Amino acid sequence: MTFENLLTTIENAILTITINRPDKLNALNKKTVEEIGIAIRNAEANTDVKAIIITGAGPKSFVAGADIAEFVGLSVEQGKALAQAGQDVFRQIENCAKPVIAAVNGFALGGGCELSMACHLRIASDNAKFGQPEVNLGLIAGYGGTQRLIQYIGKTKALELHMTADMINAEQALSLGLVNYVVAPNQLIPKCLEILEKIKAKSPKAITGVINSVNAYFENGVNGFDAEINEFGKCFATEDFKEGTAAFLEKRKANFTGK
Ligand code: COA
């Protein structure tokens, strides 16, 4: 499938989604958000895809935010609808049954920081910059940023970043726990591939169980421990569980099929 604002490639069962509006620093207009939603939905349904990388085109920016040009003249109701649409797609990424890594290759501001936070893991190049600068525009984050930044860096620093609009660099993001690793720009995709190859060798069913259980911690009205019990129990019905335990007992490498 071809997209207006995304490039997609599948190699070794890893789908790379590249947000492709480099002249606008990959700002997320409505069409792009919609296309990301479609790409993730397609990837979940495609048995040839086992993992996903999301990155930005060009050397300068992952995503420099929602497209500010589209904000002009919006009513309260239209503003809410915009936030709802963004949150829906970002929640879809967070709940994706397959692992999703953000390869943050530069500015991750506003909606860009929020997009990276919706991914399961974040790898940053050493020129990456993170921030929630919406207050500079008389706005606040709308694509889940006020909720997810707290989850990664705690209320103290989250409030500071949201209220000051300050940017932090990749090393600061690492020390705050916002990103998993910082690497040189030319090592960004190789590092993502290294991690995903490791994850791909595990049982896909078990990986989905991990995603669902960990996400349950942050879901209102859901008891994460109960969710874990449920996900743990479900593993026992899988071929992967039988293969994993048999391989251990037979002292060989497991060959998981995702069944
Ligand atoms: N929405 C729409 N367009 C954007 C954008 C955004 N969030 N971020 C950057 N762009 C566009 C610029 O308007 C410019 O377009 P033009 O060449 O047609 O004028 C182009 O991308 C390049 O950006 P520019 O500002 O010239 O690059 P820079 O290197 O001087 O500055 C940033 C980079 C990221 C610091 C700056 O672009 C910026 O502050 N962007 C907005 C960040 C933001 O507030 N995000 C949250 C939005 S809710």
Residue 128 and residue 106: Cα distance in Å, rounded?
4
What residue owns the CA closest to ligand 1's atom 7? 65
Residue 114 known to be catalytic: yes
Give, for ligand 1, the residue of 24, 28, 82, 134 to mutate: max count of ligand atoms closer than 8 Å to Cβ.
24
Q: What is the per-residue pLDDT for 239? A: 96
Given a cut of 90, is residue 86 above it in pLDDT?
Answer: yes
Which candidate in 70, 134, 219, 243 is catalytic? 134
What are the distances in angstroms from CA 27 to CA 30, 96, 175, 248?
10, 23, 26, 47
What residue owns the CA closest to ligand 1's atom 8? 64
Kindly report the number of other CB atoms within 10 A of residue 233's CB atom.
10
Q: What is the per-residue pLDDT for 1? A: 82
- Contact between residue 107 and residue 146 where contact means Cβ atoms under 8 Å apart: no
Given a cut of 90, is residue 66 above it in pLDDT?
Answer: yes
Confidence of residue 210 (pLDDT cuts 50, 70, 90): very high
Please tell me if the CB atom of residue 72 comes closer than 6 angstroms to any atom of ligand 1: no
Q: Express as a percent the part of the chain with pLDDT over 70.
A: 100
Distance 234 CA to ligand 1 centre (A): 46
Q: How does pLDDT run across 176-205, given as a tens digit for each residue?
A: 999 999 999 999 999 999 999 999 999 999
| Confidence (pTM) | 0.98
